[in-house]
Amino acid sequence: LLSDPIFSGWFGFIVHSQMHTSSSLFQCRSRTPFVSLKSRVVQHVQKKTSPGGNSSTRRTHPLVVSASIKPEKVDSGSVSFVLLAGGVGKRMGANMPKQYIPLRGQEIALWSLDIISALDEVGEVVVVCDPSYEDVFTGAQDKGLCHGKPLTFAAPGAERMDSVENGLSACDESKTLVCIHDSARPLVRPDDVRKCMQDAKTHGAAVLGVKCKATVKQAQPVGDDGLVMVAQTLDRSTLWEMHTPQIIEPQLLKRGYAHVREVGAEVTDDVSIVEAIGEPVIITEDSYENLKVTTPEDLVAAEGILDSRAATVTA
């Protein structure tokens, strides 16, 4: 489990994207949802024209396309950090939401609060949580885990997209980026967050993600008894699992929300809102250690990663 904490047979949902390039960027043209799994995976496809004029499909690494564009500097204090901590976490089987379970002596949610708030680019912290848990974060602020950044609260919504919208509404409108992070991901690395911020500043939207290591199959139901069968095996070389933070220009995100509300669409992550209005989203390569603690097995894996990091520091 520790050697492969992310892919232990679990995923969230898969989005199959047909892409084309414009100004050295991939732009989503269509999205077809596949079988519901545990985390979000995207597939990138680029079309090219052969010398004879016939269109063919060529798969390419999305990071290669944007590599020639120099990332823009993110100004100090220009980012709103929205921490999503309103989930219930039923799969953990605990008597409290998973993000408040202790991890090596500290609530899971406070690990990423500390890590991301410490970045100079962050100018404010907005925590989306049930009011009954606000004291967890005010107590963390008193201990210095917000690193002097102002702390604001927003109420969770019925769905993730509602919670994010509430958090966005609580942000300072002068900020140029909003950094949205799942509080159940305690192991994100600051350098990866900073690189994702730079990509978002340069292109409008960016998300941390990792290349898929597992074989992923598109499935379809068979009958009404819950049985499913394989429809096709997807090309693993084109698939990426989406993590958080997902970092977006606030006005771009607001425009996306207006669109999905108008058409009645439901999305389960933030960059899908940007994709829905045809805007490009850059994938910033992440570490496989940035796992989401959802099950007791994930908690064991997270403890092992923290122990390994501590041993490295003291070595």
> Percent of the chain at pLDDT above 90?
70
Which pLDDT value is given to residue 41?
Answer: 55
For CA atoms 226, 212, 267, 190, give the dihedral sign: positive
Where residue 93 falls among pLDDT bands split at 50, 70, 90?
low
Higher pLDDT, 35 or 76: 76
In the predicted model, what is the mean pLDDT of residues 276-291?
A: 96
Residue 40 predicted with pLDDT over 70: no
Lowest mean pLDDT of 23-27, 30-34, 62-66, 146-150, name the range.
23-27
Most confident of 3-7, 96-100, 286-290: 286-290
Which pLDDT value is given to residue 47?
Answer: 40
Please name the residue that has the structure tokens 């490295």. Answer: 312
Task: Give the E-state strand segments of the chain in sequence order.
Answer: 13-22, 25-36, 40-43, 46-49, 55-58, 79-84, 102-103, 106-107, 122-128, 151-154, 177-182, 205-211, 217-221, 228-233, 239-248, 282-285
Residue 3 predicted with pLDDT over 50: no
Contact yes or no for 35/241 (Cβ under 8 A): no
Lowest mean pLDDT of 12-16, 41-45, 74-78, 128-132, name the range.
12-16
Report the DSSP pairing between strands 79-84 and 122-128. Answer: parallel
Most confident of 21-35, 84-98, 208-222: 208-222
How far apart are the C-alpha atoms of 19 and 59, rounded to whole Å? 9
> Tokens standing for 301?
């894996």
Which pLDDT value is given to residue 88?
Answer: 66
Most confident of 37-51, 64-78, 132-146: 132-146
In the predicted model, what is the mean pLDDT of residues 138-160?
A: 97
Lowest mean pLDDT of 21-30, 160-169, 251-260, name the range.
21-30
Which pLDDT value is given to residue 27?
Answer: 29
pLDDT, one tens digit per residue, over 294-308 is: 999 999 999 999 999
In the predicted model, what is the mean pLDDT of residues 31-36?
A: 33
Q: Which of 168, 81, 83 is nearest to 128 (CA)?
A: 83
Mean of pLDDT over the chain: 82
Contact yes or no for 301/2 (Cβ under 8 A): yes
pLDDT, one tens digit per residue, over 173-223 is: 999 999 999 999 999 999 999 999 999 999 999 999 999 999 999 999 998
Residue 159 predicted with pLDDT over 60: yes
Instruction: Name the strand (E) or helix (H) holding 109.
Output: helix 108-117
Where residue 95 falls among pLDDT bands split at 50, 70, 90?
confident
